[in-house]
Structure 1
Amino acid sequence: MTFTVRPLDPSPDFAGETSVSDCELVHGWVTHPKAAFWLMQNAKLQDVEREYMAIAAHEHHDAFIGLSDGIPVFLMERYDPAHVELQGLYDAEPGDVGMHFLVAPTDTPVHGFTLEVITSVMETLFADPATRRVVVEPDVRNRAVHALNDAVGFEIAARVEKPEKDAYLSFCTREQFLNSRGAAARGVTR
């Protein structure tokens, strides 16, 4: 499966490939029950617009819509963890890139789809030669994302307390990601 990404356009009048704005689309995703760990369950459309306008204006944070055959299927955020999310919670290194991703809810789930999405997100991040490792901070209770992170090479480094959650600070180097892909191609589970 091949995915493409494009910048999320937070303006209310942008409809992109769909008849709804990016924020209307994302609002439906982040408020869906399966997105509980996104922490926006009760967000109104205006809250989502405000959040993504702030991200668009931030010099250290970007948001993207992931597409499959031109259809929006996931949300990806890239950030500099020295300035966003993890500022002061760990010693950031040059080449660290923070990441969040969310797969759109569906009534017809496809086995392995979310693993393909996170793999594509990692490929996108490592396409930049300046990226040395990807940093994530998922909620400690989010077992599904821990399994996905493990499958693409992340290792948990520490448990950190953030204002909104207890999280597992995790890292994945380019080498760890490439090794995980090699193991997957050989049918080896990590």
Structure 2
Amino acid sequence: GWMNDPEVAAFWELAGPPEVTEAHVRAQTDGDGRSVPCLGLLDGRPMSYWEIYRADHDVLTPYYPARPYDVGIHLLLGGGTDRGRGLGTELLRAVTSLILAHRPCATRVLAEPDVRNVRSVAAFLRAGYRKDRELELPGKRAALMIRDRAPTPPA
């Protein structure tokens, strides 16, 4: 149902019957592991959908200066009551920290929200990402958002 919410449908382009979203998720679960779909729960209630993927092996690579082990992230806050409360920012901080903690080879995490999705871009900025540039991708103009791994302090 989230994909049919007009705020979501405008950016995810998965509106329609459940089979549309099912096919999108199945392609990841049956794939080679380069993209992992995740469901976020808050107090046991589904409230977000995530895709964590190897950006350096994605269709995105021709459009930006990819580095080995770049990790990409897509986020969708499902219900409208979960939007506009700062949850996206907190979730992005937490999930990005988990990615970097569990992927020691990754030097950064990136995202490419549609530039028209000003709430998403703002959440990434508040979560410590920087806007590197805008990209002309198939179907959208995207803000390339990057969160670099914090440098390791000298011993």
Q: Is the 8 A contact 1:56 1:62 kept in 2?
A: yes
What percent of counterpart residues are identical? 31
Q: Which amino acid letter does the alignment assign opposite residue 56 of structure 1?
A: T
Confirm whether residue 153 of structure 1 aligns to residue 128 of structure 2: yes
User: Match of 1:46?
Assistant: 19
Gaps of 5+ in 1: 1-27, 177-190
Structure 1 residue 131: deviation in Å? Answer: 2.6
SS at match of 1:153: coil
Confirm whether residue 124 of structure 1 aligns to residue 89 of structure 2: no
Q: In 2 relative to 1, CA 55–109 (structure 1 residues): closer, same or farther, beyond 3 Å?
A: closer
> Which TM-score applies when normalising by structure 1?
0.70
Which moves more between the two structures, 141-150 or 79-88?
A: 79-88
* From 132, 149, 152, the counterpart of 1:174: 149
Structure 1 residue 122: deviation in Å? Answer: 1.4
* From 111, 126, 134, the counterpart of 2:109: 134
SS at match of 2:63: coil
How do residues 30-45 of structure 1 correspond to structure 2 at under 5 angstroms?
30-35=3-8, 36-40=10-14, 42-45=15-18
Q: In 2 relative to 1, CA 69–81 (structure 1 residues): closer, same or farther, beyond 3 Å?
A: same
Q: Is the 8 A contact 2:54 2:69 kept in 1?
A: no
Structure 1: 4+ residue segments shifted above 6 A: none
Q: Name the CA distance, whole Å, in 2 between partners of 1:138 and 1:32.
A: 17
Confirm whether residue 71 of structure 1 aligns to residue 45 of structure 2: yes
Q: Name the CA distance, whole Å, in 2 between partners of 1:166 and 1:80.
A: 21
Higher Cα radius of gyration: 1
Q: Is the 8 A contact 1:61 1:84 kept in 2?
A: no
> Which TM-score applies when normalising by structure 2?
0.85
Structure 1 residue 63: deviation in Å? Answer: 0.4
Q: Name the CA distance, whole Å, in 2 between partners of 1:102 and 1:124.
A: 18
Q: Is the 8 A contact 1:79 1:97 kept in 2?
A: yes
User: Match of 2:64?
Assistant: 90
Q: Which amino acid letter does the alignment assign opposite residue 105 of structure 2?
A: A
